[in-house]
Amino acid sequence: MVSQSTRIAVIGGGMGGLTAAIALNRVAGVQVTVFEQASKLGEVGAGVTVAPNAQRVLDNLGVLEQIRTAGAVPDGHGVYQDALGNLVTDAAWEDSSKQYRNIGMYRPDLINALASAVDPTSIRLGHRLSGVESVESGVRVSFENGVTEEFDAVVGADGIHSVVRQAIGQFPEPVYSEYIVYRGVVDASLLPADWPMISQVWMGNNRHFMCYPLQQRKLFNFVAGVPSDRPLHGPWSGPAEVSELAAEFAGDSWDPKLHRFIESIENTFWWGLFDHEPLTNWSHGPITLLGDAAHTMLPHQGQGVNQAIEDSMALATFVKAAETVADLPEAFRRYTAVRMQRTAILQHGSRRSGAMFDAQYEFADLKKRNADLRVGRDFRRSAVFDYDARKVAEKALNRFERNETK
């Protein structure tokens, strides 16, 4: 096991970066410094689903109970519906053991819960990364505020526009999905008293609308996906008028219950949906990637944050097995080998889920679309929710070590 004096820098203080800091400290026992470019930790005021596969990691790290208390566990399975509200299929929102069920989290609450498990003296705000380079003693990181510091290793959790990714020679082009989403939250008290405390998705006319409860059921998150070329002509995101969103789902072809929900929306923002093709490598020497920096994916399977959390446990497991600082590059190489295939599958799966929701391509045949959604429910439970990132990493570690002794 590497020395407790081993120093690793995590670039990015979002949900992936904070989870990586917790895992590297609690599992691998190393010193971690988190650098965040913003002046305070925070996230846009919208929701995220903490899925069973990520909850398993957070449980192992000792932080799940606080997250569960701050979030909202639904009353049962979610539902996929057509535009008029007719049931297509229910949605798997739990693992096979029923130990973990999806938690709807307000993003600021999730950031606060994760940050509370990190030594506040190890988080440095207002540090926008400008460069990363390997040096004889490890890795030197430089910031726009003039700070320069050296570490034994660096983990890039700095998102789709990752600077760390450039240091390992990966320059993926963003791929625009031709869709934007309107996002935000609704005060649950503005909804009918009998509004279902579950996830609901309406699908029709090449667009979809999703909502689910957050923050002990005090809020509802919403995500509305619509076709648009807006990001190709300007910014990738910005404030939006609620009337814009309402117009996308107006008319008798949409469920009156959905109209009622939209009437409760007071504010919204829009985001262009971008991802990138799977990378050919995540690591170079003592530098590696995690989360969106490694595998930006569309949100349609709700796995972006959850895969960053899986990454964190896998990374910490391999770092823990390193005997000296000199072994960290090999630990990173092994981590990359284990994680790349799973996240690539989910990147493509997220694109496919979006195509199903919006009846695109082969899913324009609604009978096929609906059948695939029903089959996908059970696949999602077994292949995604039942995944144990720690056990997978430990088994892979044993295989690597057996191969070395041959």
C-alpha 83/C-alpha 255 separation (Å) is 6
Integer angstrom CA distances of residue 287 from 43, 150, 164, 381: 26, 12, 8, 33
Q: Find all residues with CB under 8 Å of 223, minimum gap 6, and list them.
A: 46, 47, 181, 182, 183, 209, 210, 211, 299
**Catalytic, out of 80, 182, 212, 387:** 212
Q: Is 387 a catalytic residue?
A: no
Encode the chain in three state secondary structure: CCCCCCEEEEECCCHHHHHHHHHHHHCCCCEEEEECCCCCCCCCCCEEEECHHHHHHHHHCCCHHHHHHHCECCCCCEEEEECCCCEEEEECCECCCCCCECEEEEHHHHHHHHHCCCCHHHEECCCCEEEEEEECCEEEEEECCCCEEEECEEEECCCCCCCHHHHCCCCCCCEEEEEEEEEEEEEHHHCCCCCCCCCEEEEECCEEEEEEEEHHHCEEEEEEEEECCHHHHCCCEEEECHHHHHHHCCCCCCCHHHHHHHHCCCCEEEEEEEECCCCCCCCECCEEECCHHHHCCCHHHCCHHHHHHHHHHHHHHHHHHCCCHHHHHHHHHHHHHHHHHHHHHHHHHHHHHHHHHCCCHHHHCHHHHHHHHHHHHHHHHHHHHCCCHHHHHHHHHHHHHHHHHC
* Active-site residue set: 212
